[in-house]
Chain A
Amino acid sequence: MLRLTAGRVGSLVVSRATVAWTTSSARMASHTHEVTEMVDMSQPMYLDSQETPLPDKPYKDVLTAADKSLKQKEKGPWSQLSKEEKIALYRLSFCQTFAEMKQPSAEWKTVTGGIFIVLGITGLVVLWQSAYVYPPPPRTFGEEWQAKQVQRMLDMRVNPIEGFSANWDYEKGQWK
């Protein structure tokens, strides 16, 4: 017999499908003081899906007396059913209509908003650390040192044909 806490069911949700489960806490069964919603995975489950229009079981299987009498009436000619009765029969068997299934959600706004917030926090962390965490830069980065370094490279004639010193006009003492 397969038993599964409702929290683990989330990983089994098929794409584009919503499972009609009740909300419950995602806790381990070992926490005996908490009551978790146990889903018996060995039984057929209800699932609203565009890909499987007829799920393994009807949505409502515990029927009231009114529902049962409606089900009896269903055995007769369907033209005798009123519009409301037909809708009621539909809702007994199915949780969501296709239109309700395909409803777009605003989840994308939450996701992109969350991404930008996290990027923003990361940016703040980077700024703070460049001010407070990094040690002072090496002296070789300074303007004066860099100037002396360039002068030394020119004196050495570094890459005089195609590269560095080739761009320096030695007669005029300036960059070409």
Chain B
Amino acid sequence: MFRAVFRLSATGARSLARSRACYSAPLASRCYSHGRVETDEEFDSRWVTYFSKPDIDAWELRKGMNTLIGYDLVPEAKILDSALRACRRLNDMASAVRILEAVKDKAGPHKDIYPYLLQELQPTLSELGISTPEELGIDKL
């Protein structure tokens, strides 16, 4: 849902039709070449599961975050929540702050995304004791 609203680049008219349906209805839908399209919910839950791994290691956290930031989207609050908890399991507070910085940067000109995410993550941030970059003053030069 989030991704569809705040998609950062125009990808044209994307339909979620499966490829099988395309053959029977050639007029209405636009198809991908093969395979099914992952829904937003599936994408989100896949990433939440990735970060929720109890014995996640530091490399996996870094790899996951760098990959996620490479996508053309701002991750949902629940994915970030999972990632922040992974940071807690790894005793890595600096990475938690870095993740918040990266997400704010990812939103780019859409200035309302980051405050919304902070609002959604506030319970987690208080619970884990993570300070936002703004609270630490590192968002300014």
Query: Using a CB-CB cutoff of 8 Å, which residues 101-124 of chain B contact chain A?
Result: 101-102, 104-105
List residues 110-168 of chain A with CB under 8 A from any CB of chain B. Answer: none
Decide if A78 touches B136 in the complex (CB within 8 Å): no
Q: How far is the CB of A84 from chain B (nearest CB, A)?
A: 9
Q: Using known A-B contacts A81-B129, A83-B136, determine if residue A99 contacts B141 with beta carbons closer than 8 Å.
A: yes
Residue tally, chain B, CB below 8 Å to A: 31
Asked if A26 CB lies within 8 Å of chain B CBs, one says no
Binds B, one of A3-11, A31-39, A90-98: A90-98
Residues of B within 8 A of A99 (CB): 138-141
Per the bound structure, the CA–CA distance linking A97 and B20 in Å amounts to 48
Once the chains bind, are A97 and B93 in contact (CB under 8 Å)?
Answer: no
Assess whether A74 is interfacial by the CB under 8 Å rule: yes
B117 nearest CB across to chain A (Å): 15
Number of A residues contacting the other chain (C-beta, 8 Å)?
29
Contacts of A74 in B (CB 8 A): 91-93
Is A53 a contact partner of B141 (Cβ separation < 8 A)? no
- CB-defined contacts of B136 to chain A, threshold 8 Å: 83, 86-87, 90
Q: Chain A residues near B138: list those with CB within 8 A.
A: 87, 90, 97, 99
Measured CA separation A21–B131 after assembly (Å): 29
B94, CB-defined interface residue at 8 Å: yes
Q: Which residue of A lies closest to B95 (CB)?
A: A54
Residues of chain A whose beta carbon lies under 8 Å from any beta carbon of chain B: 50-56, 58, 74-75, 77-81, 83, 86-87, 89-90, 92-94, 97-100, 102-103
Residues of B near any A CB (own CB < 8 A): 61-62, 65-66, 69-70, 88, 91-95, 97-99, 101-102, 104-105, 128-131, 133, 135-141
